[in-house]
Structure 1
Amino acid sequence: MTTRIDTRFAALKTEGRPALVTFVMAGDPDLATGQAILEALPRAGADIIELGMPFSDPMADGVAIQLGGQRALAAGQTLRGVLGMVEDFRRKDETTPIVLMGYYNPIYIFGVDKFVAAAKEAGVDGLIIVDLPPEEDDELCLPAMAAGLNFIRLTTPTTDDKRLPAVLKNSSGFVYYVSMTGVTGAAIKSRGAVGDAVDRIKSHTDLPVAVGFGIKTAEDAADIGKHADGIVVGSVLVDAVAQSLVDGKASDTTVSAVRDLVADLAGGVKRARR
């Protein structure tokens, strides 16, 4: 079964460039502005969207994304609300893939079967659940895949050749290579090492490999995009929301701050293979 994610990566391969994968927190800084940001992303050049499901205890997130999640929760965002955002988005955009990213706890409380069915119906294409290892595939991965959702795995510099096959076994859509150990938002220390790691993962799988954590500028995107099939950008976008706020509320520059940054990064991605 071909998903929107498969279709998008295939199209970009033909174009000869990596995908720009953008992460935003659903409902940050408020529900209406969050929706406007989401809808602005494809027009600005995002190829795939990761939509963060805000959670009160986000252990893998750096400060920028933690604060984005807190703003969204304070604005009244819920898991049902996140699915509603995707539904609204799909009325205007039938082709841009959306991946929900977050933690298992809210899904467990919602009910796995109910969540998988609701996500599929809303128009979600894939899931990245950072705290569910392959040993727990029965929990969510297998039901999600049976419903036609891609289940996207994180691999890190510490995922060795012995561990990789287990991580990749039920992966689909793409592999998300976390370019460093630690939390989101830090800086990449060695770009050469990232290229080597991508090559190593590709020796184990035919799936596209997207690189995230530490990509902040168009130059980063162009550089890492020489090796990777996709570039994931998150902290810098969520931080752009934070910087645009006036007295903690959205301003008339909030949507454009994110949109302009995405357009700049999209330019970097287009230069990656030239």
Structure 2
Amino acid sequence: MRIADKFRELKAKNEKALIVYVCAGDPSSEDTGKYVHALVKGGADIVELGLPFSDPVADGPTIQAASDRSLEAGMNPDVYFELAASIKEQVPLVCMTYYNLIFRRGVETFVKDCAASGITGIIVPDLPIEEAEDILKACKAHGVDMIFMVTPVTDRDRMQKIFSKGSGFLYIVSRLGVTGARADVARSTKEILEKVNTTLPRAVGFGISNGKQAAEVIAAGADAVIVGSAFVNIIASQDNVEERLEQLSRELKTGCSGQ
């Protein structure tokens, strides 16, 4: 499913989107498939399937540890695309990874492999808009969305470049720093949503971990919330994982409805 189709479907139902992240292969590919199913059952609308990299510069300790566990278990791009192809949930899949892996495989080959395995969007935190022409060209050729990030310090000129070239949704980083669950929703979230003037769906991530926070972000004007570390913490605990993932996904989706 394409990301735009999902947002149209949600708009017709007057719903906002829950976007979830899991690190592929943590602790195994088989487990990842089960975890994605639990998240979608709970209400997840879009799944970011992380392709782990040894130096995930945008990620905090929680996702760094998940990446380490996945890599130690044998995850690599070949295994990753096999895993993605095996996931049959009726939601868009998005690859979140770092540019070194894309460059090493070959930009055209990587994007083509995404499309062939059912991945319809790509997020690359360490790829600036000014250096993204190759992957944008490949994404356009293969029908894959290239999703860019904006942060509280992104200036208006760079935002306009991102708005004009990105697709799928806009990833709004709600605070400076790395990923990780937080106890509060940053004031910068409201400020950046006020600055972001785009027709792309606005999805807010970094720090959201419960339904109350999700509701606050939606109330501030977001079209979607993105949650990762809170789910990865559950996976790391290895305690009743599927049930707890589904439960938190349902709580967050309820929060996306403003409740």
Short-chain TM bin: over 0.9
TM-aligned CA deviation for residue 140 of structure 1? 1.5
Deviation larger for 31-40 or 214-223:
31-40
Counterpart of 1:59?
57
Amino acid at match of 1:254: V
Query: Normalized against structure 1, the TM-score is what?
Result: 0.89
Equivalent pair of 1:31/1:75 in contact (CA under 8 Å): no
Alignment equivalent of 1:238, drawn from 232, 235, 238:
232
How many Å separate the matches in 2 of 1:133 and 1:58? 15
% same residue:
37
Deviation larger for 206-215 or 104-113:
104-113
Cα deviation, 1:102-140, whole Å, max 9, x if unaligned, reads 101112111222111111111111000111111112232
Question: Residues 127 and 188 (structure 1 numbering): CA distance in 2 closer, same or farther, change over 3 Å?
Answer: farther
Equivalent pair of 1:40/1:255 in contact (CA under 8 Å): yes
SS of match in other structure, 1:169: helix
Please report the RMSD computed on the Cα atoms of aligned residues, expressed in angstroms.
Answer: 1.7
Amino acid at match of 2:49: L
Query: Normalized against structure 2, the TM-score is what?
Result: 0.94
SS of match in other structure, 2:179: coil
State yes or no: 1:178 paired with 2:173: yes
Counterpart of 1:167?
162
Amino acid at match of 2:73: A
SS of match in other structure, 1:49: strand
How many Å separate the matches in 1 of 2:185 and 2:51? 30
Counterpart of 1:73?
71
Equivalent pair of 2:18/2:256 in contact (CA under 8 Å): yes
Matches within 5 A, 1:97-116: 97-116=92-111
Counterpart of 1:254?
241
Alignment equivalent of 1:122, drawn from 117, 124, 128:
117
TM-aligned CA deviation for residue 199 of structure 1? 3.0
Counterpart of 1:269?
256
How many Å separate the matches in 1 of 2:181 and 2:248? 18
Alignment equivalent of 1:209, drawn from 198, 202, 211:
202
State yes or no: 1:220 paired with 2:213: yes
Alignment equivalent of 1:32, drawn from 19, 27, 30:
30
Counterpart of 1:83?
81
Equivalent pair of 2:185/2:213 in contact (CA under 8 Å): no
Matches within 5 A, 1:35-46: 35-46=33-44
How many Å separate the matches in 1 of 2:246 and 2:82? 22
SS of match in other structure, 1:210: strand
Question: Residues 188 and 177 (structure 1 numbering): CA distance in 2 closer, same or farther, change over 3 Å?
Answer: farther
Amino acid at match of 2:52: P
Amino acid at match of 1:32: E
How many Å separate the matches in 1 of 2:55 and 2:187? 33
Equivalent pair of 1:191/1:224 in contact (CA under 8 Å): no
| Structure 1, unaligned runs of 5 or more | 246-252
